[in-house]
Amino acid sequence: MRPALLIRTGQQLAMTPQLQQSIRLLQLSASEFEQEIEDTLAANPFLERDDSLRETVDGDGDAAITPEAATSTTSGDDTGTHPGDPMDVITTPEPVACDEAEDGSLRFDTPGGTGSGEDDTDFTRYTHAATSLRDHLLGQLSTCRVGDRDRALCQLVIDALEPDGYLRTPMEELCRLCPAEADVQVDELSVALRLVQSFEPVGVAARSLEECILLQLEERDEATPGLALARRIVRSHLARLATPDTPRLLRTLDCDATALATAYQLIRGCSPRPGRAFGSEHTDYVVADVLVRRIADRWVARINPDVVPRIRLDRRFASMVRDQRGGSASPLGHYLQEARWFVRNVNQRYRTILRVAQAIIDRQSRFFEHGDIAMRPLVLREIAAPLGMHESTISRVTSNKYMMTPRGLIELKYFFGSHVDAGGMACSGRAVRALIRQVIGAEDPHHPLSDVKIARLLGDKGIAVARRTVSKYRDAMHIPSVEVRRLSSVAALAA
């Protein structure tokens, strides 16, 4: 063996910086994209806001961005579609109102868009901050007339609570957390725990689910029907209550079905997580990227003008750089090129979203008229092939993108899903779930249907599903089992 030099020829796909930026912008959500705009405006001197930009508005007040304008493509541009690319880049020859103008601006915004003037007031500064469970309990502790030592022990218990309101730290471990010179005993800490358990919300500081429910049942009037039986069930038979073997539970408790149903309703009325109403969890708000309206006999997608940024190239600054000798190779020339790419890729992002959204709407048009029961099975390939895109592009477009429809705010990924066999034809899993919900909603409350019977009814409709599939879909929709529904109906009849 001796070293040698070999020359080989081959083809390899190289992703340009512009293509990499286009892919990254495409997969961002509306809020993430807004932050990307802010960061780019701060970093690139050739980009500026232009609140004077106005979009051509049609008679309905929607953005005049039609699917026909978005689906047209050209070739010969460096941003054209390249077969086999992991990301398809689409250009539009002079679209109605979503083109890149001569000044490099984006013309998506509406006349009613909010500005960013100095006189604008940010009313979000005056929103009420959520009260945490700890602050809520400490506020109640401050009104109690207890000594400093007991107050410190109660605060120790409150600090050890989980966000759901449970105390999962053993009492002995809490005692070890106290200073040795304090000589805190378990019995003394238990008294402080009992005081915290008397605070609102009822059931807080419980050490188990059984204790949490018992604390809430203790607040009930002793004359409440079924209270004694409910406490007995919680102490010794709570796990059995979730099983479908109701006759055995009736024999163990030595009671009739009406008494069991009354006790079950009391238990069901208790909160298993008393601290869930509190907390400082951040709430993420989503904004629709696409608006869906019915025009004549067709459902049409339009870009939401509120999510489109109003930015453009600073033409005067750009012309100064171009007039300089060797300006394109200077650092400022690099920023100018990046600014052009960014404006072009922002336009590209919305054209791609619009094309994909319209393709989804065309294939799921019956959903907008009849709901989930008319949902068709759909996979990424069925959208990618007609549009000439890669499946990964469709995945990026549908991730964290939402459309506002007459049926509410829906994520684009909602329209894709698994399917089941229906007499040789594929049926969407969401349609099957809608049918299950419809069958259970129409059942006799006093004689609810089991999962086996529901599977048979679906089979009579031509949808062959197994009993375990019905159970899985029912659990996913948070619909109780047949035994729980039967107990609820008996309790309602007794009331």
- In tens, the pLDDT along 388-435 reads 999 999 999 999 999 999 989 999 999 997 767 655 566 788 888 888
Tell me whether the omega of the peptide bond preceding residue 201 falls within 30 degrees of 0, making it cis: yes
Q: Which fold has domain 418-494?
A: Arc Repressor Mutant, subunit A (1.10.10)
Q: Across 267-385, where does the E strand assignment appear?
A: 290-295, 298-303, 311-313
Match 């708000």 to its residue by tokens.
285
Burial code (b: 16+ CB inside 10 Å, e: under 16) for 239-278 equals eebeeeebeebeeebebeeebbbbbbbbbbebbbebbeeb
Residue 214, CA atoms < 13 Å, CB-side half-sphere: 15
How is residue 308 written in tokens? 């489109």
For residue 419, the surrounding DSSP H or E stretch is: strand 419-422
Strand partners, 403: 290, 410
- 117 CB contacts (<8 Å, ≥6 apart)? 51
Nearest CA to 234 among 218, 245, 248, 255? Answer: 218
pLDDT at res. 107: 42
* Strand ranges across the sheet with 402-405: 298-303, 290-295, 402-405, 408-411
- 194 CB contacts (<8 Å, ≥6 apart)? none
> What does the angle CA 307 – CA 310 – CA 312 come to, to the nearest 5 degrees?
140
> What does the angle CA 445 – CA 450 – CA 455 come to, to the nearest 5 degrees?
120
- In tens, the pLDDT along 247-273 reads 888 888 888 888 888 888 888 889 989
Burial code (b: 16+ CB inside 10 Å, e: under 16) for 28-55 equals bbbeebeebbeebeeebebbbebeebeb
Pick the CATH number of 132-207 from 3.40.50.300, 3.40.1280.10, 1.10.10.1330, 3.40.220.10: 1.10.10.1330
pTM surpassing 0.85?
A: no
pLDDT at res. 394: 93
Nearest CA to 247 among 446, 485, 483, 493? Answer: 483
pLDDT tens by residue, the chain, 495 residues? 678 787 888 776 667 777 888 888 888 888 888 889 999 888 888 888 876 554 433 334 333 344 444 444 333 333 333 333 333 333 333 333 333 443 444 444 333 333 334 444 444 444 455 678 889 999 999 999 889 989 999 999 999 998 889 999 888 888 888 888 888 888 889 999 999 999 999 999 999 999 999 999 999 988 888 899 999 989 888 888 777 677 888 888 888 888 888 888 888 889 989 988 875 555 567 889 999 999 988 999 999 998 888 888 877 777 777 666 555 566 777 888 888 889 899 999 999 999 999 999 999 999 998 888 888 888 899 999 999 999 999 999 999 999 999 989 999 999 997 767 655 566 788 888 888 999 998 888 888 888 899 989 988 888 888 888 888 888 888 888 888 788 777 666 665
